[in-house]
Structure 1
Amino acid sequence: MRMVRQPSFGFIPCSLGGLRSEHGAVRNEASALCCSSTSPLSSSSPWLIDRSPRSKQRFKEARVVECRMNLRGGSLGQWWNLFGWIPFLSMGSASSHTVESLTSRRKRLWGRPADPSGVAAQHDTKKIRKTQCRAVHTGGDMNRENDLNISSFSKEIVVPAIRLDARHCSLVHTELRKYLFNLPKLKIVRKDHENPDKRRILLVSKHVEDDGSMQAMFRNTSNDHAYGMDDMHDDVKRFSEKYDASIVSEKVMITHQNLGADEMMRELLPENVTIPTGFQQIGHIAHLNLKDEHQPFKHLIAQVILLKSAHIKTVVNKVGQIENKLRVPEFEVLAGIPDMSTEVKQNDLVFKLDYSKVYWNSRLDHEREVLVEGFEPDSEIWDVFAGIGPFALVAAVKGCNVFANDLNPESHHYCKMNYKLNAKKFGKRCEQLVAQCSNLDAREFIRQRMASHAANSTRRRVHVIMNLPASASDFLDAFNVDSSSACEPPMIHLYCFSKHDDPEAEIHERACLSLGRTIPRESVRLREVRLVAPGKRMFCFSFPLPR
């Protein structure tokens, strides 16, 4: 910044070219205006920096000064915020302008009171997103299925409390731990209003059911019951006799903050409707697989998850089954912001994806490590159904030469993007790995790689990853190519589902039929990956390609 000295005044700025607004963007337009003859901050302007003690005090109270720019015709054309290095702007006596506070200036020019959150808060995308995704009903009746009335979870109950000397509080936490009335964000140790040397610690009575749920506590607590020693467990009675403690009744206000997602859903859903068992998290997205019985309450369930999960901004539900050949499911947004572009961190790698356009499974992070652990660092990997590259990138980090393929153009795009995003992991090999990504049909990709492998004089070990459990075995016929090469045959890792009592025999028979050749049973390795659904399991079927 160039500073110009004016007699008996001080320093004024002649350029704001490097000034950044609260949004981080360089205001080039502001720079041009400030240098113009009409700008109040031009070199001939009487606006100066006031360094007086009074000005410094004003700077502490308001760091942002709004400057009005009079453009063509004298109309109000542009505003921006000046902050940081400008404590306050004042003017010489020859000027007709006056310095106004932030509040009074906005009120005069815009005709309404200032926004106490500041101008920048209106444009802060992160704050807007956070406000939108946390928007829930805080009062009123739940007349619509989309409304979550969090005030309906507030209730006052009476629970038993053990009254004892403050010096014995730590003993309660050790000897009576399983009888404590523990709820999230609830203070169970309270002061005694009658004696400052006493404390009251909230407990559960013996009438509470043994299932340990919060609902059991609420069902067996009353707002008018007077608790005594007869309502407590034998361990509590013995402890009270030993340390001269007594049992009293204590009023407790329970809100939605003291309940978990399951407890809130039990309050919302009818007794004959089961609680959703969980969801898959993909970055800021929560992916639900709701049953038919949950459909009438799907928006309430989604808002509960949104409210109780700090990192969730979007809740979606899968609609129907994945039947298209690109493996892209259809979703409906139930709550939060409709933003399906997200970022996932797994296996010490960062993956970007658009969940509405590509397939992703967060539950296979351990499987990737297990599979790649058996690869030699100089192996060649053919990832036939690579997706956005989770298996491919993990193998490339180990030092393998990876050829990643996927039929989905969006998956192909994100696979290359993720290579570049994690370029430091691959060093100089990054460009080569990106160039080896392909967007081909699985059979065409296999045939090309088999032809290249047969013509290659090197004896590098090849591993073929076929992670398409629903139909990967159907593509084994692509390996039926004539080859007289003496190269070691590829090791195929076939992922598939099975509901059979003898999955190894069933998968082996299926693979032999598709391949058109007999696979020796002694060369086969079968490993269970995970339980997908009751009676449905996912396996990894590994075998060398028979000659």
Structure 2
Amino acid sequence: MSNSTMTTTTTTTMGKIIWPPDSVRGMRDLNRDLFRRIVRIPFVVTDINNIDTVGQLLRPYFLKINQFKPIQEYESSSSNEKRKIFLNPDHSELFESLISDLIEHQFLCRLTKTTEEFIGHEEIELKYEHFNHLTIFRSIFDHNNESSDNSNPDFSLSGFSTIGHIIHLNLRENLLPYKKLIGQVLLDKIKGCRLVVNKIDIIDTKYRNFAMETLASDDDPSVTTVVDTTECNVRFRFDFADVYWNPRLSHERTLILKKLNREIDHVYDVFAGVGPFAVTAAKLRKCQCLANDLNPASYRWLKENVQLNKVEHLVRCFNQDGREFIRNQVKEDLIKQIQSFDGKAEDSDQLWKLASENLGHTISSDNIEELHEVRKVAPNKLMYRLSFRIDKNILYGRTFNNDSDD
């Protein structure tokens, strides 16, 4: 990379005031002290009675950094309570005209009685704690970016997956020299993160898991790769190092789940993993499920998640090769389900009882003329025609003595 290119990139980035100092560029070992920087921040003062109006108008230009309140109390000798609003100096060209309007309409206070100043400045020290992970990564990696729009994919950090307390990365080769720094920054900045790992190999094992390395971790020795997480408000527990879990597939699973009819659909999950589809189908859609996975670790956690969600009566778990599972368990269950929905009527006594209950009078077997299946409304919902002779009890809606023809 030429020096001229580096100079151009530096100038573009350093045009921002609320930004880490140039000394962090290219950093590979995290040094939090190098993020310190003294900056001059503009502020305005308003009476507390006007804070809602002024705040709403100036909100897009607030100084928004971590661990800093843009609205603070203002020390004043006046008896009226006032508030100080800090603004982002990188947006000064945008809020200058707005401030002029606020001054004209007397929504802002003069800083002192002896001057006409309405905009003050205060020096604050920006620190590592004030920057989020995206700002930190851009400030470090942008020195490699040959395009002024920061769009070089080789040095941009792709998205990461969060699984319980674990952040899972799949770093490009160009970012591997920064991997320990990346892990530590994410550990510092992402709430709930206690372990950061990076995939170091493709998924080509028999059990669909992959090798990974630890980039950063809490000092607590109790932190392991066993995680507790939720998907669709269903709880799951598993060892992330031993099973396959991809939270980015949750949307696809949800689309299929919405299509399930709890009354008639049965789920056969050939590669169930730890149960994100089968357990959720049982928990939320009340479907009967056969769930299988070849990986013994996945099978173990699958059974635990079935118990965890109390769906043992709906999910049967198997630890077989997928082909054998289809040839045996799926085949047998399909035959069973087909036979149970083959259109044969329920026993006559049950149908007569149902018809009698709806009529409010007993239909005797002697009066039955015909019981005929009309059609299938659904695979497990049949329509019947029951033809019977109407006796006096049914016709007049009351009981008659057998000796009377009245």
Whether the 8 Å CA contact 2:288–2:314 is kept in 1: the answer is no
1:282-431 counterparts in 2 under 5 A?
A: 282-337=163-218, 339-377=224-262, 378-397=264-283, 398-423=285-310, 426=311, 430=312
Could you tell me which amino acid in structure 1 is paired with residue 84 of structure 2? R
- Separation (CA, whole Å) in 2 of partners of 1:155 and 1:307: 19
Q: Give the TM-score of the pair, scaled to structure 2.
A: 0.65
Matched position secondary structure for 2:273: coil
* 2:63 corresponds to: 181
- Separation (CA, whole Å) in 2 of partners of 1:145 and 1:332: 21
Could you tell me which amino acid in structure 2 is paired with residue 160 of structure 1? P
Could you tell me which amino acid in structure 2 is paired with residue 409 of structure 1? P
- Separation (CA, whole Å) in 2 of partners of 1:154 and 1:348: 42
Could you tell me which amino acid in structure 2 is paired with residue 422 of structure 1? N
More RCO (CA 8 Å, sep 6+): 2
Pairwise CA distance, 1:190: 3.7
For residue 437 of structure 1, the aligned residue among 290, 293, 317 is 317
Pairwise CA distance, 1:256: 2.5
For residue 143 of structure 2, the aligned residue among 271, 286, 298 is 271
* 2:15 corresponds to: none
* 1:252 corresponds to: 124
Structure 1 vs Structure 2: percent identity of aligned residues?
Answer: 32
1:28-39 counterparts in 2 under 5 A?
A: none
Whether the 8 Å CA contact 1:369–1:394 is kept in 2: the answer is no
For residue 242 of structure 1, the aligned residue among 73, 92, 105 is 105
Residue 86 (structure 2) pairs with residue 202 (structure 1): yes
Change in CA separation of 1:209 and 1:302 when aligned onto 2, cut-off 3 Å = farther
Whether the 8 Å CA contact 2:74–2:83 is kept in 1: the answer is yes
Whether the 8 Å CA contact 1:285–1:342 is kept in 2: the answer is yes
Matched position secondary structure for 1:269: helix
Unaligned runs of 5+ in 1: 1-140, 211-231, 462-547
- Separation (CA, whole Å) in 2 of partners of 1:432 and 1:166: 60
Matched position secondary structure for 1:456: helix
Whether the 8 Å CA contact 2:39–2:126 is kept in 1: the answer is yes
Whether the 8 Å CA contact 1:282–1:362 is kept in 2: the answer is yes
Matched position secondary structure for 1:357: coil
- Separation (CA, whole Å) in 2 of partners of 1:199 and 1:207: 20
Pairwise CA distance, 1:379: 2.5
Whether the 8 Å CA contact 2:169–2:197 is kept in 1: the answer is yes
1:9-30: CA deviations, max 9, x gaps? xxxxxxxxxxxxxxxxxxxxxx
Whether the 8 Å CA contact 2:278–2:291 is kept in 1: the answer is yes
- Separation (CA, whole Å) in 2 of partners of 1:146 and 1:281: 24
1:96-120: CA deviations, max 9, x gaps? xxxxxxxxxxxxxxxxxxxxxxxxx
- Separation (CA, whole Å) in 2 of partners of 1:249 and 1:189: 14
Pairwise CA distance, 1:351: 1.1
- Separation (CA, whole Å) in 2 of partners of 1:156 and 1:455: 75
Tell me how large the CA RMSD over aligned residues is.
2.9
Whether the 8 Å CA contact 1:269–1:297 is kept in 2: the answer is no
Between Structure 1 and Structure 2, how many residues are aligned?
A: 293
Pairwise CA distance, 1:431: 5.8
Change in CA separation of 1:460 and 1:247 when aligned onto 2, cut-off 3 Å = farther
Could you tell me which amino acid in structure 2 is paired with residue 374 of structure 1? K
Whether the 8 Å CA contact 2:41–2:87 is kept in 1: the answer is yes
Whether the 8 Å CA contact 2:28–2:177 is kept in 1: the answer is no
Pairwise CA distance, 1:289: 1.5
- Separation (CA, whole Å) in 2 of partners of 1:399 and 1:456: 19
- Separation (CA, whole Å) in 1 of partners of 2:190 and 2:175: 20
Residue 49 (structure 2) pairs with residue 167 (structure 1): yes
Whether the 8 Å CA contact 1:287–1:316 is kept in 2: the answer is yes
Pairwise CA distance, 1:353: 0.7
Change in CA separation of 1:449 and 1:335 when aligned onto 2, cut-off 3 Å = same
Could you tell me which amino acid in structure 2 is paired with residue 182 of structure 1? K
- Separation (CA, whole Å) in 1 of partners of 2:309 and 2:123: 55
Whether the 8 Å CA contact 1:189–1:202 is kept in 2: the answer is yes
Change in CA separation of 1:252 and 1:393 when aligned onto 2, cut-off 3 Å = same
Residue 152 (structure 2) pairs with residue 152 (structure 1): no
* 1:110 corresponds to: none
1:442-521 counterparts in 2 under 5 A?
A: 442-449=322-329, 451-453=331-333, 455-456=335-336, 458-459=338-339
- Separation (CA, whole Å) in 1 of partners of 2:135 and 2:46: 31
Could you tell me which amino acid in structure 1 is paired with residue 224 of structure 2? D
- Separation (CA, whole Å) in 2 of partners of 1:449 and 1:331: 34
Matched position secondary structure for 1:271: helix
Could you tell me which amino acid in structure 1 is paired with residue 318 of structure 2? S
Whether the 8 Å CA contact 1:287–1:318 is kept in 2: the answer is yes
Residue 161 (structure 2) pairs with residue 280 (structure 1): yes
Whether the 8 Å CA contact 2:65–2:131 is kept in 1: the answer is yes
* 1:8 corresponds to: none
Change in CA separation of 1:352 and 1:306 when aligned onto 2, cut-off 3 Å = same
Change in CA separation of 1:208 and 1:315 when aligned onto 2, cut-off 3 Å = farther
Could you tell me which amino acid in structure 2 is paired with residue 319 of structure 1? I
Pairwise CA distance, 1:181: 1.8
Whether the 8 Å CA contact 1:206–1:233 is kept in 2: the answer is no
- Separation (CA, whole Å) in 2 of partners of 1:193 and 1:369: 54
- Separation (CA, whole Å) in 1 of partners of 2:324 and 2:184: 45
Whether the 8 Å CA contact 1:379–1:460 is kept in 2: the answer is no
Unaligned runs of 5+ in 2: 1-22, 110-117, 146-154, 342-406
Pairwise CA distance, 1:316: 0.4
Could you tell me which amino acid in structure 1 is paired with residue 325 of structure 2? F
Change in CA separation of 1:356 and 1:208 when aligned onto 2, cut-off 3 Å = farther
1:15-73: CA deviations, max 9, x gaps? xxxxxxxxxxxxxxxxxxxxxxxxxxxxxxxxxxxxxxxxxxxxxxxxxxxxxxxxxxx
